Amino acid sequence: MTSENQPKAGHRETPVSTEFRDFMASGWAADDRPPTPRAEAADPAARRREALSQRFPGERLVIPGGGLKVRSNDTDYTFRPHTAFAHLSGLASQAEPDSVLVLHPGIEGGHEAVLYVRPPAPRDTEEFYTDSRYGEFWVGYRPTLADLESELGLSARHIDTLEDDLAKDEAAARLRVVRSADAKVAELVDATRTQAGTSLTAEQQEEADGELAHALSAMRLVKDAWEVGEMRKAIAATHKGFEAIISTLPEAVSKGRGERWVEGVFGLYARHEGNGVGYESICASGDHANTIHWIKNTGEVREGDLILVDAGIEIDSLFTADITRTLPVSGRFTNIQRKIYDAVHAAQQAGMEAVKPGNKFSDIHAAANKVIAEYLHAWGLLPEGVTLEQTLDPEHGGWHRRWMVHGTSHHLGMDVHDCQLLLRKDYMDGELKPGMVLTVEPGLYFKADDLLAPEEYRGIGVRIEDDVLVTEDGYENLSAAMPRSSHDVEAWIARVSGSAESR
């Protein structure tokens, strides 16, 4: 027997008799649940769709939510919708896989928003109990079209009507799609444009789709009041997660595999307080802190070491925090640890003070980077004869960057590194405006095998990161409730540890 003729493995034994099917189709209570109330996110999402409508008049805009991704064999990763879809639909952690939001151009201008989804199968159908991806017997309650319309204030239709609806009227030749969200939907849009006789070349179609992706990314740069409120919730939840870590540091030391213990404790709070972690948590003890994106979290946590924790909770609306604290495991910094920590704290404060309307995004890094260079120069770590001015020369300098190779800031929101599709002129060279939320996160990293660093510095890595809102006259540190200075961090650990011991 050839491989293509081999039967598929089927290890789930569902009865197939007529008697069983008839029995499964009977005896279910009527669905008398009240209509789903309008979601808090519905009105902000409607305002965003209106802004997008004005940006692309007369064009049909296709924003897929994305589909399930196979983790192994017949199991899938937990579904998270594409950020642009969540931002424009109002559906976030509760979004259904394979959904597509379409903005159809209206006859008299504007757009009609239609959400295309796979509604739940009736309980007298086999799909209800045999489909492990969509059947409610397997995955639980799924919203009806009426539920979605009530919740979001837009029209909802069966996903099977999407192909015909994309091809209707002359707008079929004026389609744009978020290509990265769902490859199958992108292929459908390409075929629809071709059949409609679009005048655009393949390259021009790709450029048109790129313009849509750029516009959707730019829409998230400035947060409205509701979005800022969601950011506050994510940061408050993350604060709780960090305090849980502090309270269990002794267990992380004693139990072994301490980095995983810390990761697990934070993950527990992330799931309980929100949707989950906003990104893979970095729980880096000792020399692991000098690996910028250490997400293996396989190391020990030892007394006397520092542990760098870079983590954020993504709440149910998909807004996430992104905060880093470097904590002395024993509760007190050594003299050399404090020396390095205080330098990073000074650099972070300089970066924060550069956050104000009218400044460029790049000014944040420039301010923090200058302080880092000043400390390293004063400590004698730069090559002999290299001046502060020389190392700060962007074209021919940079010696100090050996110990801080990353940037100091990024935009933050529904993605931990948000608005990443913007052009450099709109991001790095963009002007700071009230409502933007961004991080400020300088660091110093002295790897254990760095022979150009003093021996007593080696193995020490420090990063401090906070989430900052640009205001009308400067900035607000949204994560200010989490102590930052070395002395305040020590007092924080003492307070939280004491509270944990008294429980």
In CATH, what number is assigned to the domain containing residue 254?
3.90.230.10
Residue 134 sits in the same domain as residue 154: yes
Whether the CA torsion 229, 232, 236, 238 is positive or negative: it is positive
Among candidate residues 225, 475, 231, 478, the one with its CA nearest the CA of residue 363: 475
Domain membership flag for residue 7: no
**Measured in Å, how far apart are the chain's first and last C-alpha atoms?**
66
Residue 213 sits in the same domain as residue 229: no
Residue 164 sits in the same domain as residue 288: no
Domain membership flag for residue 160: yes
3-state secondary structure of 480: coil
Strand-pair category, 175-177 with 60-64: parallel
Residue 294 sits in the same domain as residue 425: yes
Domain membership flag for residue 10: no
pLDDT score recorded for residue 503: 62
Residues 233-245 as b or e (16 or more Cβ within 10 Å = b): bbbbbbbebbbbb
Domain that residue 283 falls in? 225-502
pLDDT score recorded for residue 423: 76
Overall domain count for the chain: 2
Q: Using only C-alpha atoms, what is the Rg of the chain?
A: 26
Domain membership flag for residue 188: yes
Residue 208 sits in the same domain as residue 288: no
Strand-pair category, 306-311 with 100-105: unpaired
pLDDT score recorded for residue 5: 40
One-letter amino acid of 211:
E
Helix axes 202-219, 42-55, angle to 10 degrees: 140
Q: Residue 85 maps to which CATH number?
A: 3.40.350.10
pLDDT score recorded for residue 502: 63
Domain membership flag for residue 235: yes
Contact 399, 383 (CB under 8 A): yes
Residue 170 sits in the same domain as residue 91: yes
Q: What is the mean pLDDT of each run of 10 residues along the chain (503 residues)?
A: 41 83 93 89 97 96 96 91 97 95 91 96 93 91 94 97 94 93 96 91 92 96 97 98 98 97 98 97 98 98 98 98 98 98 98 98 97 98 97 96 97 95 86 98 98 98 98 98 98 91 65
Find where tokens 């962007």 sit: 394
pLDDT score recorded for residue 424: 80
Residue 177 sits in the same domain as residue 299: no
Residue 253 sits in the same domain as residue 165: no
Contacts of 451 (CB under 8 A, 6+ apart): none
Residue 461 sits in the same domain as residue 376: yes
Residue 256 sits in the same domain as residue 314: yes
Residue 150: how many other CB atoms lie within 10 Å: 18
CA distance 483 to 235: 13
Residue 193 sits in the same domain as residue 321: no
Domain membership flag for residue 24: no
pLDDT score recorded for residue 107: 77
Beta-bridge partner residues of 445 = 461
Domain membership flag for residue 20: no
Domain boundary residue, one of 184, 219, 254:
219
Domain boundary residue, one of 169, 187, 219:
219
Domain boundary residue, one of 199, 219, 239:
219
Domain membership flag for residue 5: no
Residue 199 sits in the same domain as residue 294: no
pLDDT score recorded for residue 2: 36
CA distance 84 to 30: 36
